[in-house]
Amino acid sequence: MTVYLIRHGKTQGNVERRYIGSTDQPLCPQGRAELAGKTAPAADRIIASPLLRCRETAEILYPGRDVEIVDDLREADFGEFENRAYGELKDDPRYRAWLDSAGAAAPPGGESRVQQQARTVRAFRNAMAACGEDERAALVVHGGTIMCLLEALEPSRRFYDWQAPNGGGYACAWDGERLTVTATI
């Protein structure tokens, strides 16, 4: 099976470099314009996070197509750091401790990477089980979701090595147990 892991288009929070995990932001005008010029990979099934930025991206890349929403493919909840930027947080010792953990610890009131990864891998496996083995599935999700999936299911690289730009991502082969990245998109 072919799987495309596509990161949503740019939001104002991305432009401002904010942690917008569970914040339900729309695409910004720049994000919409950047997506309008992209050719999406051909897909038989479109699956997306429930957050608006992913649903809007799916509609731009796959206009008029049915989109299956999978709640647990959403981005991490950054708790008290949600919708805040580095400049606002840099003097908070709890933020420094979170950074020192390379994001592995949970931010105050938020979700740890281990929790997010367990949630997203389970959701991914369930979604793939509903697909035919010859189908091409496009998942329009979040950067953190992509990094969690690839770290767990294609462990040749570490979490932050799998960063994808807004509107970009990876083409992968899925054999039911492992993802193999075949190209960047």
What are the angstrom distances between the C-alpha of 135 and each of 42, 91, 106, 171? 10, 49, 36, 13
- CATH code assigned to 2-184: 3.40.50.1240
Q: What is the pLDDT of residue 35?
A: 97
- How far is Cα 118 from Cα 150, in angstroms, rounded to an integer? 12
Number of Cβ atoms within 10 Å of the Cβ of 184: 10
Q: Give the pLDDT confidence of 36-72 residue by residue, as tens digits.
A: 989 999 999 999 999 999 999 999 999 999 999 999 9
- How far is Cα 179 from Cα 185, in angstroms, rounded to an integer? 15
Averaged pLDDT score across all residues of the chain: 96
Q: Which residues pair with 180 in a beta bridge?
A: 173
| Whether the predicted pLDDT of 103 surpasses 90 | no
Q: Is 75 a catalytic residue?
A: yes
Q: What is the pLDDT of residue 152?
A: 97
Number of Cβ atoms within 10 Å of the Cβ of 127: 18
| Whether the predicted pLDDT of 149 surpasses 90 | yes
Angle at CA 76, nearest 5°, toward 12 and 89? 60
Cβ–Cβ under 8 Å, residues 170 and 158: no
Q: Is 142 a catalytic residue?
A: no
| Whether the predicted pLDDT of 90 surpasses 90 | yes
Name residue 135's amino acid.
E
Q: What is the pLDDT of residue 29?
A: 98
Candidates 8, 34, 82, 142; catalytic one: 8
Longest dimension (CA), the chain: 51
Question: What are the domain boundaries of the chain?
Answer: 2-184
Q: Give the pLDDT confidence of 27-40 residue by residue, as tens digits.
A: 999 999 999 989 99
Length of the chain: 185
User: What stretches of 42-142 show up as alpha helix (H) in DSSP?
Assistant: 52-61, 86-89, 93-100, 113-129
Full-model pTM: 0.96
158 token code pair? 């570490």
- Cβ-count burial of 142 within 10 angstroms (0-12 exposed, 13-18 middle, 19+ buried)? buried
| Whether the predicted pLDDT of 155 surpasses 90 | no
Candidates 75, 82, 111, 151; catalytic one: 75
Q: Which residues pair with 137 in a beta bridge?
A: 3, 45
